[in-house]
Structure 1
Amino acid sequence: MGIPELIEQLAAPEMEARQAAGAALVAAGAAAVGPVLAVLCNEASPVYWGDPANVLRRIGDPAFDPVLDVILSTGTEEVRRRARWTFGGIEVSDLTRYAEVLAHPDSSIRDTAAFVLQNAGSAALPMAPALVPLLTDADEDVCQRAVWAFAGIGPGVIPLLRRVRRSTAPQRRQALTALAEVGGWDALDAADQRLVERLIAVKLRDEKPASMHLCGGWYALPTKDQGAVLEAFGLSDAMTVTMRLGESAWNSDHHGGTLGHEHGRCSRTYVSPVLDGWTLVFGDPPGSAHSASAETESGRRQYIRRRCAELSGVFGAAHWYGESCGDGWTAWCLAEHGRIIRCYDVFEPEDQVGNGHAAEDGYRLPHEDGGFPEGWIDGIDVSDTAALQERYEQVKRDFAIPDVCHAADIAGRLSVDPSELDERTSVLGHGVLALTACGRRYGTPRGALHI
């Protein structure tokens, strides 16, 4: 079967036929590149574009320059998008082919080449020096990609980045970010660690409270005794940090800045300064994190309830709050003098403790529909967010339907709402990042943090 017939077979309804055609085209090598590339660029072709793209990737070296030429062509943006995706996975015999285009005038090619080296891991270590200029690239996305590429290549780049830090290269500043992304605090040499500590000290002098992005769980304790809080959570090696840095660590750990670190989410904890008389503890303690890896979330909920009861026996009261920025999850647990008085989780409303709380008065719980009448959105284009919100607010007013409460609302009434911190919030002392038992044993996660 010739190349034209094989390409035609890429549109066959049977997967086996398409796979066989793809394998035969790959075996044809350089001779198939032009015809397959033409199909990739033909937006009217019945062949799904992903099939010729994968054939070109597997053909490897002979496809490299022709696909690169398409990215630089005057074709449609859709064609260039297909070519960029193809270019990012060509199975070259030597990674230096990608390293050689890191200085290409087209920023999308620089970005894609760096992405390939990022995914190549330690195999790309010999090419790492070619990534250094990208740390100060004119395109901010390429700068960020270079940092991620260094992290993807791994600890082997640390000596290179430390040399950049000690040089007069224009990339000195960005190299510090890359070092933190590669190996966290431990990747910095002693001079850079002292530099970061001095920067933190300077910023602490006039730092003002600011709204925090809430995603994860935190405890609130009515105490000014930071030492007692550290002891109660089994924390050590406390490092004084700005509130911004503490928030950054919490969010980084929770949102995936812990790649390659099995205990990244439970290795460190941010303990806030005293805020309006309350100390807040952000993080996922080992007991909670390890419970969450059980078959269900019941282990986590039981752990949180047990800890709240224990902490309230020490501090008189203890609250735990949980919010998600992605899926609508919200929860809270309140304890006083060693006893749980209220627990609620929107995903497990049947597992509540207590029959409501005064802080919930005037609200409806997130799992309750609130009594919206049938057909209340009739005539509204649900894709029109503004119109839908306007109708929602109008129906709430007409039928006296209360607002939904979330953990941050309850925290604002009972302790401190971290999302509402501002210059009116009273602050005593400074926050710290401290190690949990997992942090002492396994170290902390990599990742550059905001100071």
Structure 2
Amino acid sequence: MDVQHWIGLLGAADDRTWTNAQNELVAAGKDAVQPLLRVLHEDSTPRAEQACVTVLQQLGLFAARGLVETLASLRSSGVVSEDADRVARRACRALGVPEVGQALYYAQRLTSERIPERRNTADVMSVCGELEFAPLLVPALADTDESVTESAVQSFGRFGPAAIPLLQRVRRSPAPERRGALAALAQVDWRAIEPADVMAIHRLIMRKLQAETPRPYPIPDGFEWYAVPTEDQAAVLDAFELSDPVPATMAMGSSVSGCGLRYVSPAFDGWTLVFGPPVPACRLDDHRRMHELDHAHGDDELMALARLTMSLNEPEPYCVELSRRFGEAHWYKEIGEGSYDSGGWCIAVDGKNIRYISQDAHELTDLSESDRLHHAEEGLRGESVSDWLAANGFPADMWDDIFGEILGDHMFQRLEAPFDDAVADRWDEFARRTGIPARRSACTVAERASVGPHMLGPATRVIGHGVLAHTICGRERHHGGAIVI
């Protein structure tokens, strides 16, 4: 018998027939969704209405998108009537969300044709703490636009552990949203990922590692890493007080944030890299305080957070201590020209600070024990482009004018090459014409003194594979956050 036959029996007076009809429609799965959604709009008996809502509830994720679209259509029509109100209440019961106008508001915005409206609504729902409306957000986990899906994943992450049961139901289903649900579970808490998925992820990582070859990784503004001259990864894990290492690709390491995890690279040409600052046990109380201040709003608390963060991330004492163990240790933090962040580099040898340069958008500050340039810094430019040009007989705004031309061509879609490539090509030509040296920065110093992620390539000698490992902070706190494999 077909679906429509069982739809006709949802109002049956005989309990056995009534129950059989519901069971058959649940077994029909997604094929029953649209006929059931039509029943929502009909002036049916209370018994048929109850059965329809019950079946839609059991179909769950098969019906979620259709139910959200039903609510959205009621809101969009602008018709406020007894019939529309009845349909809305039925749909809300089937979805398991409060039977109030806010559900219609969210549903309309989450199904809007405008991508920014869908994306912003996904963000706002969790910011406002609207956990009871989370089922409305499920279809966004498979939105046609990746930015909307990413917003939904982040939003579920902010909902926290309370969202885990819903996400696990989505993940266990054959619904198209199951892939997004896995990312959302990772965003909430890695421990919420079920064993079968953990094993599948592990197999994927191992396949990626087998195929991973050294290649340059772009260094984002504000990225920092430590480099020590050793191929002994276990010794590096011990020196950084890291535990529970698991195999990881460099893409995974590059996408980790916070203080709970650190990426330790394989040995590249005899150097091992660690992404991010150490988290020593002696500073655990300070990290706890930092997490308490993360949600601060008052000026005094924000200032305290800024001072504490700077203290925790101060690289010199770590470099000096690491150099006592490994003979040498480097720290690098790359910032672009015009960046509002601060960065620099630190090189320690045998327990002594050889070079420590703090860099911001305008100047280099030498905090070294010695005022002599390191050999890796020689011939590099310390001043801004405009200052160098003015000091060497060129118009100070010469490069600014060239960059403005490129930006204008980009805005009016006159560039044949990607914007970054066009800038790089014009800079190379500009450097040949003017003789301007390369900028003295973390990346250029690393190229000459040790190793950085941006330097890797086919000629790089690799021993071992990278790992992600817990800091003491990560061992104390659960870790969440979707990362790129």
- The C-alpha deviation readout for 1:267-323, integer Å capped at 9, x for no partner, is 21110011111100111223588699563887467x422221221111111111111
Q: Give the TM-score taking structure 2 as reference length.
A: 0.63
Among 313, 318, 337, the residue aligned to 1:307? 318
CA contact (8 A) 1:372 1:395 kept: no
2:207 maps to 202
Q: 1:127 to 1:328 in 2, by over 3 A?
A: closer
The aligned runs of 1:145-184 (5 Å cut-off) are 145-183=151-189
Matched, 1:320 2:340: no
CA contact (8 A) 2:278 2:318 kept: no
Matched, 1:227 2:227: no
Q: Give the deviation of 1:361 after TM superposition.
A: 1.5
Q: Give the deviation of 1:180 after TM superposition.
A: 1.2
Matched, 1:351 2:340: no
User: Aligned residue pairs: how many?
Assistant: 348
The alignment-based identity, stated in percent, is 39
Q: Give the deviation of 1:332 after TM superposition.
A: 0.8
Matched, 1:120 2:163: no
Q: Secondary structure of 1:270's partner?
A: strand
Q: Could you tell me which amino acid in structure 1 is paired with residue 367 of structure 2?
A: D
- Partners of 1:397 and 1:357 lie apart in 2 by 25
Matched, 1:403 2:438: yes
Q: Give the deviation of 1:140 after TM superposition.
A: 2.8
2:250 maps to 243
- Partners of 2:434 and 2:309 lie apart in 1 by 36
- The C-alpha deviation readout for 1:341-376, integer Å capped at 9, x for no partner, is 111112351534422111111212256933244744
- Partners of 2:450 and 2:374 lie apart in 1 by 14
- Partners of 1:207 and 1:96 lie apart in 2 by 46
CA contact (8 A) 1:309 1:318 kept: yes
Structure number, greater radius of gyration: 2
- Partners of 2:175 and 2:345 lie apart in 1 by 50
Query: Which stretch of structure 1 is more off in the superposition, 124-133 or 336-345?
Result: 124-133
Gaps of 5+ in 1: 1-63, 71-91, 254-264
Among 392, 404, 414, the residue aligned to 1:383? 404
- Partners of 1:328 and 1:103 lie apart in 2 by 36
Q: 1:167 to 1:393 in 2, by over 3 A?
A: closer
Q: Give the deviation of 1:419 after TM superposition.
A: 1.1
More helix by share: 2
- Partners of 1:193 and 1:415 lie apart in 2 by 36
- The C-alpha deviation readout for 1:123-156, integer Å capped at 9, x for no partner, is x223222222222222333322322332233321
Q: 1:419 to 1:366 in 2, by over 3 A?
A: farther
Q: Secondary structure of 2:330's partner?
A: strand
CA contact (8 A) 1:101 1:113 kept: no
- Partners of 2:308 and 2:136 lie apart in 1 by 47
- The C-alpha deviation readout for 1:374-400, integer Å capped at 9, x for no partner, is 744379487324799999878866664
Q: Could you tell me which amino acid in structure 1 is paired with residue 323 of structure 2?
A: S
Q: Secondary structure of 1:384's partner?
A: helix
- Partners of 2:262 and 2:473 lie apart in 1 by 11
Q: 1:380 to 1:118 in 2, by over 3 A?
A: same
Q: Could you tell me which amino acid in structure 2 is paired with residue 223 of structure 1?
A: T
Q: 1:168 to 1:385 in 2, by over 3 A?
A: closer
- Partners of 1:295 and 1:213 lie apart in 2 by 29
The aligned runs of 1:273-292 (5 Å cut-off) are 273-286=266-279
CA contact (8 A) 1:349 1:367 kept: no
